[in-house]
Amino acid sequence: MFTLAELAEKLSARLVGDGSVLISGIAPLYRATQGEITFLLSPTYKSLLADSKASAIVMSKEFLSDYSGNALIVDNPNLTHAQLAAFFVKTTEFSPGIHPSAVVAATATVDPSASIGAHCVIGERVKIGPKTRVGHGTVIGDDCSLGGFCHLASNVTLYNNVKAKDRVTIHSGVVIGADGFGLVNHQGRWIKIPQLGGVSLGNDVEVGANTTIDRGAMDDTILEDGVKCDNQIQIGHNVVIGAHTAIAGCVGIAGSSKIGKHCMIGGASAIADHVEITDQVILTGGAQVSQSITEPGIYSSGCPVQPRLQWHRQVIRTRQLDQLFHRVKKLEQASDEHDHD
């Protein structure tokens, strides 16, 4: 629990109102009540200010005239939301050491301050750094390394030769380092290409639940510092993702693609193999990337949902475009010939 004045100081916010008010939690604007602090993150919800029962509201200065209660005035309420929420996180306590049911190879090195949960399996020559937590049932293959202050949730699987630097977070169900989809067709049969690379994760990378990241064919698959991956993403072999890029759920990235720094990839986007995307690119949800993107900007593709009959008519018209093109071409040729006569 904090006083509003304490929160203002921690957040470098301008306090308006009673700084002695006690704040015990955070809630959305529409249901926040006494003892809770909330946020006005969009002008869309400005109408809710008058009836808010929250003890305080975080907002930018342009909305202060619409509200007479306690407030914290900041330049970026979204950023403040992230900072403030961290004060109220209920963290699970953990004790350093290795659970008696864990199986740890004799050649593995586990820092004394690290925590290894029940029924974990730690392979040969693994290195686990200080204050790193490995959740119950997690399997870490041979020659992996985890830096300091990492957190692997329960039931994570790291295949051999996965390297993670400091403060990496990996959620449950994640599989990192499985073979990439490398095949060659010979006389009608698929021949597997052995995948000899690994996976490298930079500092402060986060990988969401049930995401899969394949090992490289020869070089590593690489996620640079600060990359954030949502749940259920597929990252193919030899992909390189630049620093501080954020990827929403259900994205598929085919092998050997390279994504730049500070990109934002919308949910359900699909990126073809061997494509390169430059820095500072935003792909809106469902974007289909089949060619390289060389200029920063916002890119979209796909067809928004619409009534079935309307969609069906558009499909028919699309199929007729080639025929229409040739008809127009003939008319243009006929017109040119007539002009020359």
**Residue 237 is among the residues annotated as catalytic for this protein:** yes
Sequence-ordered list of residues with C-beta below 8 angstroms from that of 36, at least 6 positions apart, any chain: 23, 24, 25, 26, 27, 54, 55
**Could you give phi then psi for residue 145, rounded to 5 degrees?**
-145, 140
Beta-carbon neighbour count of residue 75 at 10 Å? 11
Sequence-ordered list of residues with C-beta below 8 angstroms from that of 33, at least 6 positions apart, any chain: 27, 53, 54
| Strands 151-152, 212-214: pairing kind | unpaired
Out of 237, 244, 326, 340, the active site residue is 237
Distance CA 64, CA 139 (A): 52
**Could you give phi then psi for residue 328, rounded to 5 degrees?**
-65, -40
Distance CA 207, CA 248 (A): 11
Q: 14 near 8, Cβ under 8 Å? A: yes
Distance CA 237, CA 217 (A): 6
In the structure encoding, which two tokens stand for residue 167, read together?
């403060």
Query: Please, what is the angle between helix 77-87 and helix 4-11, to 10°?
Result: 120
Integer CA distances (angstroms), 179 to 183, 241, 245, in order: 11, 18, 24
Q: 221 near 238, Cβ under 8 Å? A: yes
Sequence-ordered list of residues with C-beta below 8 angstroms from that of 15, at least 6 positions apart, any chain: 4, 5, 8, 71, 72, 73
The closest of 166, 101, 104 to 130, measured between CA atoms, is: 166
Which residues are catalytically annotated? Answer: 237
